[in-house]
Amino acid sequence: MKTKYILAALTIISISSLSCKKSFLELSPQNTRLEENYYQNEKDMFEALVATYDVLQWGGYKGYVPETMLGDAASDDTHAGGANAADQPSWVALDNFTLTPSLGPQISIWGRYYAGIYRANLFLEKIDGAETSESFYKRSVAEVKFLRAYYYFMLERWFGNIPLILKTLSPTEYNFPQSKPAAVFAQIEKDLREAIPDLPEMVSGAEAGRISKGAGQSLLARVILFQNKDSRMGEVANLTDSVINSGIYSLVPDFASLWDNENRNSSESIFEIQHSEKSSWGDWGWLPGGEGNIGVQMIGMRDYNGPKYNSGWGFCPVTPELVAVMQGDPRFDATIIDGSQGELSAGFFNTVIDGQNASYKPGYQNTGYFNKKFAPLKAYISPDGTPELNWTNNIIEIRYADVLLMAAEAYARSGNSSMALNYLNQVRTRVGLINAPGINLLQEIYTERRIEFALEGQRYWDLLRTGKASQFLSEKGWRANRNEFLPIPQGEIDNTHGVLIQNLGY
């Protein structure tokens, strides 16, 4: 942060009652406190804490970067979509793996998460000099370490070779070199292990969205599992068992209700990114300023005409491959909108959707199948601001079903098939399926993960960590020794005068 002025609302959004106002973006400072006398007390540090949380819900930075939808576009569950191939070239490049250092979503991803890391580092530097209670100090430091770990984990998954920055940098330090992935993972795990003891067991009510101990344990399990080392499956099992045995979380009886806005922060939610229409945001030039979920707008049917849904932009149409995998599964109707049957007339596809007559305009790579979990519903359209920027759908980043299936995988890879089947079958029983046969247990778990978390942005990372990306994504253009990572943004390499080294294959 190069400005000396700290605005009265340091963040743009909040998971609490704080909200954004467009006046915060005016050139005249709304509060002229200097940085050196700002971080003085608990109120100041709470605003800095909110600023660190803020980055979680950014749907745009330099381009559209809703994380869930990007993960789907990279996988074999959806195409890129949009109006046409020129609508979002960076998404198309990710979808067919024609990425270059200057083409792709990497600029937005890099900028977004390093903004979060900067805010986390700044908070951790300032908190020791502020007057705060011991309870606030311990909890807020733990939350910020969790968030820094989360931001680094997202960067590490996308880029692999990244700078590991644990302090705010002076202008003479901007040419910061990359670290080995092992060092980054070690820091992520260190931050989480230090955070977990000081995180609260439960959060609820006005604090919904703040980090809990279960979120810390679950994220650490995911981080270790992503590194894909059989020797560490015992650690994953211990962490997931701690969450399961806490008795705090449970599967909701109705799978479809997980994406009902009236059921946000349910008993199944462990780490949920909050969204709101309260800011009434309308500034297309500064997408991080809003609190809404723009990904909802992106995946809606283009020029939809019908009683239930709102028109969207047609991104991430569901692939026939996912449809085939999910046919006959009880979760299909809660996951996928089927608008594939009908006829084309005057550029519109006339069909029946959810038992009601409707029409939409087929977009790029249209298949007739769309994401239902995050579909834009007319019932939730914002009455103020620009509706496309103000969708209130939360993102459940980690839910209890994921913990159960991580535990199942850890036990299966440790040779304990009985425990693995127990956890796997809890997920299946919730939707009325019979117990898994357990003949090819690990593959059964992976199939269950694909169906349970379909269109939640997880499939790509599961393929990558298990070494199956080439098997399932080669037809899309994925190539080993190149597409494991995005290219480092060319502008970042140029700005560091070549200190940053480009990833292999670019």
Digit-coded pLDDT (tens) for 183-205: 999 999 999 999 999 999 999 88
Please tell me the total number of residues recorded for the chain in this structure: 506
Residue with tokens 């890391």: 117
Domain topology for 36-253+485-495: 1.25.40
DSSP state at residue 173: G
How many Cα atoms within 13 Å fall on the side-chain side of residue 450?
A: 22
Q: How many whole angstroms separate alpha carbon 19 and alpha carbon 385?
A: 14
pLDDT at 204: 83
Q: How many whole angstroms separate alpha carbon 121 and alpha carbon 39?
A: 13
Q: How many whole angstroms separate alpha carbon 483 and alpha carbon 471?
A: 13
pLDDT at 7: 29
Nearest to 321 by CA among 300, 336, 302: 336
Which one-letter amino acid corresponds to residue 86? A
Beta bridge partner(s), residue 396: 272
pLDDT at 454: 98
Residue with tokens 């909040």: 14
Q: How many whole angstroms separate alpha carbon 462 and alpha carbon 71?
A: 10
**Residues 36-61: what's their mean pLDDT?**
93
Q: What is the mean pLDDT of the chain?
A: 92
For the chain, percent of residues with pLDDT exceeding 70: 93
The answer to whether residue 243 scores a pLDDT higher than 60 is yes
pLDDT at 18: 35
C-alpha 272: how far from chain center? 9
Q: How many whole angstroms separate alpha carbon 60 and alpha carbon 8?
A: 23
DSSP state at residue 318: B
Nearest to 410 by CA among 400, 401, 419: 419
Nearest to 218 by CA among 182, 428, 199: 199
**Residues 162-186: what's their mean pLDDT?**
95
pLDDT tens per residue, range 248-275: 999 999 999 999 999 999 999 999 999 9
pLDDT at 80: 98
DSSP secondary structure letters along 262-315: GG-S-TTEEEEE---STT----TT-GGG--S-HHHHHHSPBT-BSSSBPPB--B
pLDDT tens per residue, range 369-421: 999 999 999 999 999 999 999 999 999 999 999 999 999 999 999 999 999 99
